[in-house]
Amino acid sequence: MLPFDDRDGLIWLDGQFVPWRDAKVHVLTHGLHYASAVFEGERAYNGTVFKMTEHHERLHGSARILGFEIPFSVAEIDRATDELLSRNGIVDGYVRPIAWRGSEMMGVSAQKNAIHLAIATWEWPAYYSPEARMQGIRMMFAPYRRPDPRTAPVHSKAAGLYMICTLSKHAAEAQGYNDALMLDWRGQIAEATGANVFLVQDGRIHTPTPDCFLDGITRRTVIELARQHGYEVVERALQPEELGQTQEVFITGTAAEVTPVREIGEYRFTPAEITLDLVEAYDALVKRSHKKAAAAAVSAA
């Protein structure tokens, strides 16, 4: 696999387009030591990022939750992303903006640290192969739980919150699974390590209330699509034992898109009508949205 620190192309760093290999930070950067960083994960389809402005608005909101302001507006980040995709020749790919506290102060308190922002883009046509995606992925129960909102800034897409996700996904992969299902501090179903989760029970779609994890942009999009297709969507507390009365499970996220699940621990599911409808509806939405955007850009030119 090509390492991420040794590639051709450009990275946008603090307002400048920098050669990929030169986009570096000091080892005493506060964001590295104290996880004072926030980020987004975005997908480009046909050269255009899906719901880009929403992602960058959330990036700003995440930073404010962590107590800092990003020194570039949402509109500036949008423009930088579009230009970066163009300069790097990315048509279908992934976009990673990240903001962090710099190196001026090294300690828990970092009131005077400069705030930096970088954006990287790379080709990434699919998170799971088409075959694995439609077959359904295998999940185990994660060894870590989502924390109580009184103990962590759970509504920020903050780097530090992903430590337990990495540990849980590594544990799952070590046992031959694709991912892990995280419960919350109460023992209720929360999410996968990087995606939201939905359960289909007797024709109704159920999903956990996002009170201790991110209300994902893809999550909200899929809920809207489901309701447009006539499905009832219920947001509520979900107990893990309810998996025994569940016929279909799928996860949603920028990287995962809509991915069926065939196994969680001892529970088995079969990707069926509702899941497959939403897979097709989401795929059609992102392709249709970006065909329109591409056509508009050609007309404007």
Q: Is 24 a catalytic residue?
A: no
Query: Which of 155, 251, 159 minimizes the C-alpha distance to 212?
Result: 155
Could you say which of 157, 169, 287, 292 is catalytic?
A: 157
Q: How far apart are CA 96 and CA 111, in angstroms?
A: 25
DSSP 162: G
Q: How far apart are CA 219 and CA 288, in angstroms?
A: 19
Characterize 47-62 residue by residue with b for buried, 16 or more Cβ atoms within 10 angstroms of its Cβ, and e for exposed: bbbbbbebbbbbbbeb
Q: How far apart are CA 167 and CA 161, in angstroms?
A: 11
Q: How far apart are CA 157 and CA 143, in angstroms?
A: 21
Q: How far apart are CA 77 and CA 57, in angstroms?
A: 10
Q: Residues 44, 90: contact at Cβ < 8 Å?
A: yes
* Residues known to be catalytic: 157
